[in-house]
Every structure is written in structure tokens, then in C-alpha cells.
A and B are shown apart, each in its own frame.
Chain A
Amino acid sequence: MTQGRVAAVIAALAVIGFCRTAYFHFVSEPRNERPIPGPPIDAQFRALLPLLPRSGEAGYVTDEPLLLRPGFEYQGAKQRFLQMQYALAPLVLRYDDDRAPLVIAHVAHPAHLDAVLRAHGLEAIARAGPTTAVARPR
């Protein structure tokens, strides 16, 4: 094997990788993915910020139980919880703790919000959109 052949092989493979990268980012993604600019996660939870303390802990209840063991498919409920934790840090969210002085009810389906509050014995203090409420134990 000569250096010339190695150069030719590397160049050919690099052209393939180059084309794949260009196709994915500039042809496929614009067609199939979310638009530019993508919505930042913080924007979803902005209405919640004035209703909560900046630190400490808050309970978190929802209509779709989180998978509490790794090893399963992508789960929307887990993503919603973790995105809220990311946005509200350093407030620590306590999953399924409905006896905390402040509890966030965050549901996938707006129609479920009142049922979730009732099921956990919670009284809404304020609502931050159709799927989210800040509550306290009755």
C-alpha cells in the first residue's frame, strides 16, 4: 500500500462523510425537524417562576407516572419533569411528593389537571397555563 492509495481512500471516505453531514444538517433536518430558532425550554416555564420560591423544594405530581427505573423507551412524562427541573433549578423538584408545602401539578392533557389536583388532595393557588398549577395540600 502506498501513500498515494491511502490518500485516495481517505479522500473518498471523507467525501462520503462530508456529503452525509451536509445532507443531514441542511436538507433533512430543515425538512423534518423543529424550525429555527428552536423554542428554548425556559420559555415553557416562564409563567411559573413568579409563583415559586427561587430555592428549596417543591412537590411534583402529574397524570402520567414517571418511569423510575432506567431501561425503557423515551418517555414524555420524564422529559416534562426534567425540563421543568432544568428551568427551575436550584429549586429541587420532589417527584410524587404531594405533602410538600408547595406542589406543582403538571399534566400532559389539560383536561386531567383538576382530576390530578383532586386525586392528590391539593388546592390550586395559581395556574400557569392550561397544564400547570401551583397548589398546596388541603
Chain B
Amino acid sequence: MKIALAILAIALSGAGLTAGLRGGLRWAAAVLLGIGAWSAAYAAALLLFGSTGSALVAKEIALIAAGALLLLRSRSAARKKNNFFFRSSEPGPRSPTHAGPEPQARSAVPAWLWLFFAASCALATAAVVEHTLRFPDGGYDAWMIWNTRARFLVRAADYRTAFSPRLLFWLHQDYPWLVPGAVAQAFLLSRTESLAVPAVISWLFGALAVAVLALSAARLRGPRWGLFAGLVLATTPCFATFSSNQQSDVPLGAFLALAVALLLIWQEAQGAEDLLVVAGFAAGLGAWTKNEGLLYLGCLALALVVRERKLRPAALFLLGALPLLALLAGFKLLLEPANDFVLFTTPGGLLERALSPGRWSELALLTLRRIVYFQDFALWVIAELLLLVFVLRKRPGSVAGTALLFAFAAYGPIYVLQPHPVEWIYRTSVDRLFIQLWPAAILATLLPLGKATAPKPATART
């Protein structure tokens, strides 16, 4: 019964949130948003009512009701063309503003591309299985932070023990808990704490990242570009490893990619403003996944203001993120978990680090060296930089590209000002930041590239 309720809660809340989308992208986005909403609602129920069984059942029912309401309103609004929030977000295929691929892009995809994409996904999955069997508890951070948190949530009589200041700070009690929330609920529903539970959830987020990326690129540029996008992510060497590590970086990457995909569809399909609200919700789930998600959410909102030169799109985007921002604020204010950056920072130290040329130059050198880190990135980062410098720099800017640029720029001062040695924190974190940003960066790169290389329509000679 509880399992059925949970599946319904995920399915209906996801379907309701994505009622304005069409095609395969809708289903991938629905599963991703549904799982995110399910975990966020779990956290909200715990924060508001504590670990009572009835509160957890009530939140499932609330999610089902909200999802059903969104679906019903979407159907009725489809009949009323001018309804703002719940009309179909994407223009129809005959609409002049249809943001679908050019006719040439929809031409047949070569069989080798399908085969290569399928083989790459199969290899990535095999690598996840191999790595999981070898490291059944996941990567270092998985058992140090994420899965320990899930165990505390399930096992402790009072869920607040998971965030207790009596725990050593290495458990990072201030980290948001979308992934631990999903794992803890799966533990409760399956009545087991099998190591397979977080492993399967981790793989699922990886698969959804590839699906969201490929299907949104296909939606905007045709199946050929969708397969290119999925291929790039699936053959990035560190992607499979991170997907098996059971950490929160791949889920954050998936939410960010979805937010960016929705913004790109909105940007190319002028006027479907409800996509902005859903994009904000996806970015909000990213903020509830990891602290970095809040930075990405801010960067996307700022990029909307900068690129659109009006406040309304950013306001709608933030409206979508509002429930998750409220949850994040509630968590930080109610439980007051300590943050180790704050714990080890003094105003004097901050100024000293900001004015230290050594820290800035060390960061620049480390970044230059990381570009050619073949083990994790193969040659993808070099190719990305060459494309940015020689091809995309001349193209008109997009909200997605601008937001990613802001995020990249923000990490400069963050690395220098944080209180720990630059080399240590850089080495232990930069690949995780890469995998958070990479799916969105692939979209933001390949879509303008697809446009730049689209065959020009033939013109009649007179």
C-alpha cells in the first residue's frame, strides 16, 4: 500500500509538473521532478511534523492531490487558450514559433550513431555495475555524508539526530538532503537497508541525466543532435564513476540540465512562460540537492535578467523555485546546521586570502593543468574550450551559456576565499563541480553549434 502510494506520488506529481511538455522529454523530466518533489516533500514533512508515520502518508496524499490537480487544470486550460500557467507550454508543430528542429535535422539518423550511443550507454552502465560491486558502499563522500545521513534519517527516533552538532563536522550536517531523503524513503518502503538501494538510485539519476540531455537536444535540434549530446555525456570517463559513487553531484547535474533545457526551449519558443516556472522548480530541486545548486539557481536567475533585460522571466523562474527555497531556509533556520566554511573563517582571514596573489596564481595554474586531465575528461574539455574560443564566441549569447559563465566565474573567488589550502580543496572538489555543470554545458554548447552548422535552405534562382 505504501509502495503504491509512493509510486503514485512520484508519477502524478511529475506528470503534473510537466503537463506543459511533450514527447520523450516529458517522461524523463516527469520522473526526475517526481523523485525530487517526493524527496523534498519528505523533508518538509519531517521538518514540520517530525518522524510520524501519519505525516509521511499525508505528504504522499498531498503530492498525489497536487499532481492530479495540476493535470486536471492543464486539461481544462488546454481548452481555454489564454490560460497563463497551464496551457501547453510548447507551441504546436504548426505554430510559427515552433521551437522544433529544422526539417533537415529531422532527417534519418545513421545507424552507426544509434549503435554507438546504445553501446556507450551500455558501457557506462556496465562500468557503474563493476564499480559498485568493487565499492559496494559507494565513494568516500557517499558513506561519509550521504548514506550516513540516510541511515540516521531511517534509524534515529528523532530525525534531527542526523544534523546534530554533537556529530563531527566531517559529516557536513549543513548539506541539503534530496538524495539522502530519497534513499531513506526507499529503505523504509523496501524494509531493508540493502546496499543495492542507494546504488540503484544513483544509477537512475545518471540515466535520467543522459535522458534529459539527449531528449531536450533532440527536441530542439532533432534526433541526430540528441544522440550527439547523450554520446558526449555517456563517453565522458568520470561520468560513469560518479554515477556509481552514490553522491549528489550527478543528481544535481541532472536537475541543472533540466532547468537549462527548459530555459532553452522557452527561449526558442518565445512566450511559453510556464516553462520558466518549471525550470525554476528544477533549479530549486538542485539547490535542495547540494549547496552549489543554490549558486546555479542564482546564476540562472541573474542570466535571465541580463539576457532578457526585464524582470518578469526571472521573477517567474524564482516563483517556481520558491517552495524549495522555503524548504532550504526552513532547514537552515530550524536546525541551524554548522557550515565548515563559516566554522573556519574569520573576517581577517578572508581579507588576507582575497589579497593573496599566491592563492590566485595557484588556482589559475591548477585550472590550466586540469583542462588536460585525460583520466576523467578524456579530450572533451579541450574540445569544449576550442569550440568556445573559435566558434561559439561569435554566436549570440543564451541564458544558459551566460549562467554557466557566471557560475564558472563565481568559483574563482570561492576557491580563493574559502579557508582551506587551495590545492587540497581544488583537487578534492573540482571534478565534482565539473560533473554538476557538464550536462548543462553540453546542451549550452551543442545547441548553438547545431544552429551554426545547419544547412542553409536552398533559394530559388531567378
Contacts and interface: CB of A to CB of B under 8 A. Distances in A.
A20 interface: yes
Main SS of the interface on chain B? Answer: helix
30 contacts: A3-B454, A10-B228, A11-B113, A15-B235, A17-B236, A18-B120, A20-B237, A20-B378, A22-B127, A24-B237, A25-B127, A36-B133, A36-B134, A37-B136, A41-B137, A41-B143, A69-B344, A70-B340, A70-B344, A70-B424, A71-B424, A72-B424, A82-B148, A82-B171, A85-B167, A86-B137, A86-B143, A86-B144, A86-B147, A90-B156
- Which size bracket describes the interface of B in this complex? 35 or more
Given A17-B237, A21-B124, A92-B161, A85 B168 contact: yes
Contacts of A18: 119-120, 123, 235
Given A13-B380, A13-B383, A85-B148, A57 B166 contact: yes
B425 A21 contact: no
Given A21-B123, A38-B134, A86-B143, A14 B148 contact: no
Contact of A20 (B126, B133, B374): B374
B240 interface: yes
Contact of A93 (B168, B237, B240, B424): B168
A99 interface: no
Nearest to A93: B168
A33 B134 contact: yes
A55 B147 CA distance: 17
Contact of A25 (B120, B130, B148, B453): B130
A9 interface: yes
B152 interface: yes
B134 A55 contact: no
Interface string A88-132: 011011110000000000000000000000000000000000000
Interface of A: 1-3, 5-7, 9-11, 13-18, 20-22, 24-26, 29, 33-38, 40-41, 54-55, 57, 66, 69-73, 78-79, 81-83, 85-86, 89-90, 92-95
B230 to A, nearest CB: 10
A40 B195 contact: yes
A20 B379 CA distance: 10
B152 A89 contact: yes
Contact of B453 (A2, A57, A72): A2
A27 to B, nearest CB: 11
A79 B378 CA distance: 30
Given A20-B378, A95-B168, A14 B232 contact: yes
B449 interface: yes
Which of A3, A17, A18, A20 lies at the interface centre, i.e. has the most chain B CB atoms within 10 A of its CB?
A17
B136 A29 contact: no
**A-B CB proximity, top 7 nearest:** A17-B235, A71-B420, A90-B156, A17-B378, A25-B127, A89-B151, A14-B235
Interface string B277-297: 000000000000000000000
A21 B235 contact: yes
Interface string B322-366: 000000000000000000100010000000000000000000000
B136 A40 contact: yes
B262 to A, nearest CB: 24
B116 interface: yes
Nearest to A41: B137
A38 B133 contact: yes
A90 B151 contact: yes
A38 B419 CA distance: 35
